[in-house]
């Protein structure tokens, strides 16, 4: 009987703290930005997990060459390791978001740790750039019951995405990244790609696919904007 009560309680806690809020935030909540309005041919490129000392400068070169602005969801401890790259992201006109301090899964964090982790990330970014970031996206896009509340308490908008191309996986090819993004792109799309982490060398494939993605979408008449612009700020 005791075993039954324990198992039932564990399932209930998991549902209330992890599964239900995660489903709600990813699919239903009107306070989470999953895409922009479809009445303008605007698309937002977003990059998670950086900065990376090898890939992020190359990515910034590609974006500069194409005159494209994007939004970077940086990991706090990476930002502190490479503050000069964070400064360059800001200097070149891109938007900044928090992607947690050490990329821990939300389901493994207590409410207290969830808030502390996000606050630490905001403070890390503010200590380098002198201003608070405006966006939050949790690692793996996974929420717990307190993730969004913690973000809102810190004045952060919460962003998800509408297109991902599995660019962190070892088996994903450059062609797959290109085809996935191009076939799914619509007005208002938020594309998530990665400039750090994943399988060894994975961001190199993202960078290889990116110039063609930008060129093709530009030819289709899309304009690249930051999440601030897509939101209408």
d(CA 118, CA 109): 11
Asked whether the beta carbons of 54 and 143 are under 8 A apart, the reply is: no
Tokens of 221: 């008449």
Is 117 noted as a catalytic residue in this protein?
Answer: no
191, containing H or E segment? strand 190-194
> CA–CA separation, 184 vs 18, rounded Å?
29
Q: Which stretch binds Zn ion (CB under 5 A): 29-37, 49-57, 149-157, 198-206?
A: 49-57
- Cβ nearer to Zn ion, comparing 21 with 50: 50
Find the radius of gyration of the CA atoms of the chain: 18
Q: How far apart are CA 185 and CA 177, in angstroms?
A: 12
Q: Which stretch binds Zn ion (CB under 5 A): 5-13, 40-48, 127-135, 164-172?
A: 40-48
Nearer to Zn ion, 42 or 47 (CB): 47
Q: Which of 43, 48, 144, 227 binds Zn ion (CB under 5 A)?
A: 48
List all residues 6 or more positions away from 207 whose beta carbon is below 8 Å from its beta carbon. Answer: 55, 58, 59, 62, 195
Nearer CB in complex with Zn ion: 36/139: 139
Q: How far is the CB of 120 from Zn ion (least distance, A)?
A: 16
Among 25, 36, 44, 49, binds Zn ion (CB under 5 A): 49
* Stretch 124-153 residues interacting with Zn ion (CB under 5 A): 139
Least distance from Zn ion to the Cβ atom of residue 72, Å: 12
Note if 194 is an active site residue.
Answer: yes
Q: Residue 117 interacts with Zn ion (CB under 5 A)?
A: no
CB burial of residue 218 (10 Å; 0-12, 13-18, 19+): middle
Least distance in angstroms from the C-beta of 102 to Zn ion: 11
- Which residues of this protein are in contact with Zn ion, per CB under 5 A? 48-49, 139
Give catalytic residues, as residue numbers: 48, 194
């Amino acid at each position: 009987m005791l075993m039954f009560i324990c198992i039932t309680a564990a399932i209930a806690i998991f549902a209330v703290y992890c599964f239900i809020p995660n489903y709600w935030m990813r699919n239903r909540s009107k306070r989470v930005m999953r895409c922009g309005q479809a009445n303008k041919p605007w698309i937002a490129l977003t990059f998670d997990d950086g900065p990376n000392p090898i890939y992020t400068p190359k990515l910034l070169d590609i974006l500069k060459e194409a005159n494209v602005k994007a939004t970077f969801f940086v990991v706090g401890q990476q930002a502190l390791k490479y503050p000069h790259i964070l400064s360059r992201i800001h200097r070149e006109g891109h938007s900044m978001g928090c992607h947690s301090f050490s990329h821990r899964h939300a389901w493994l964090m207590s409410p207290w740790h969830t808030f502390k982790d996000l606050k630490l990330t905001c403070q890390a970014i503010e200590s380098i750039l002198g201003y608070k970031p405006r966006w939050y996206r949790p690692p793996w896009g996974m929420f717990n019951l307190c993730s969004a509340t913690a973000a809102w308490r810190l004045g952060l908008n919460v962003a998800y995405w509408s297109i991902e191309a599995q660019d962190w996986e070892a088996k994903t090819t450059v062609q797959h990244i290109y085809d996935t993004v191009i076939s799914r792109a619509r007005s208002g799309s938020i594309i998530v790609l990665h400039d750090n982490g994943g399988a060894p060398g994975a961001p190199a494939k993202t960078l290889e696919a990116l110039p063609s993605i930008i060129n093709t979408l530009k030819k289709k008449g899309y304009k690249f904007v930051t999440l601030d612009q897509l939101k209408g700020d």
